[in-house]
Amino acid sequence: MKQFTAGDKCVSVYSGESGDLPVVYLNTFGNEGEAVYQELKQEKGPNFHFVTISGLQWDHDMSPWKIPPIAKGDTPCTGGAGQYMEILRNEIVPKAESLILGKPLWRGIAGYSLAGLFAVYSLYQTSLFSRAASISGSLWFPDFQKYVSSHNWKSVPDRVYFSLGDKEHRTKNPFLKGVRERTEEICAFYTGKGIDTVLQFNPGNHFQNEGHRIARGIRWILR
């Protein structure tokens, strides 16, 4: 593994064996990237390069626009995804790919919760990524389903993975309880456009087996 910093972000690069391989980027809330990588290594699958980014200002870097707190004691989302996208596109991706062997066959982007929202949002901001995995993605985000259906991708994605915990929508929170419906709508929209798309359900609520769920999503887009 090789590491570098881009501003206040810490980037870890796990190189595949050799040759021209896919590169998957994972935005992380903490330092779960190493655990996800180890789980991915346990099962034989396609060889690929893996890049994790930590040190994110979560409610800023992963949110496409500003929204007030959705619950008492929560923090607002401050809409910094566009700014972070510039760092990702212009600093993180070029530096990370200078540290791997060969050239990317394609790039994927994955994330959990707000980072799952960002993974889908990124498809509308850059043509860098042709596959995305939104794991327990915050697709309840106000007006995001409207954004998806009214904007064009920078390039048509090859594959998009969605997942949710089967109990995530069972909440009194007026925002969060819509997550299943919004996710199903967005998945159906992608399927209707001919995109290779899946929505998988995991047992439990939002905060369960995050590393395993992330690895499952990444395996799917690597198929």
The pLDDT value recorded for residue 41 is: 86
Beta bridge partner(s), residue 132: 109, 160
Q: Which domain holds residue 107?
A: 2-222
What pLDDT sits at residue 209? 82
How many angstroms separate the Cα of 218 from the Cα of each of 37, 57, 126, 148?
A: 10, 23, 20, 22
CATH number for position 70: 3.40.50.1820
pLDDT value at residue 196:
98
The pLDDT profile of the chain, 223 residues, written as one tens digit per residue, is 999 999 899 999 999 887 799 999 999 998 899 999 999 988 777 899 999 999 999 999 999 999 999 988 899 999 999 999 999 999 999 999 999 989 999 999 999 999 999 999 999 999 999 999 999 999 999 999 999 999 999 999 999 999 999 998 988 889 999 999 999 999 999 999 999 999 999 987 778 889 999 999 999 999 8
The pLDDT, as a whole number, for residue 207 is: 80
d(CA 94, CA 181): 37
Q: Domain count for the chain, please give it.
A: 1
The token pair at 99 is 């540290």
CA distance 105 to 131: 12
- The 10s digit of each residue's pLDDT in 6-41 is 989 999 999 988 779 999 999 999 889 999 999 998
User: How high is the pLDDT of residue 204?
Assistant: 79
Where are the extended beta strands (E) located within 74-169? 77-78, 104-112, 131-135, 159-165
pTM of the prediction? 0.96
pLDDT reported for residue 106:
97
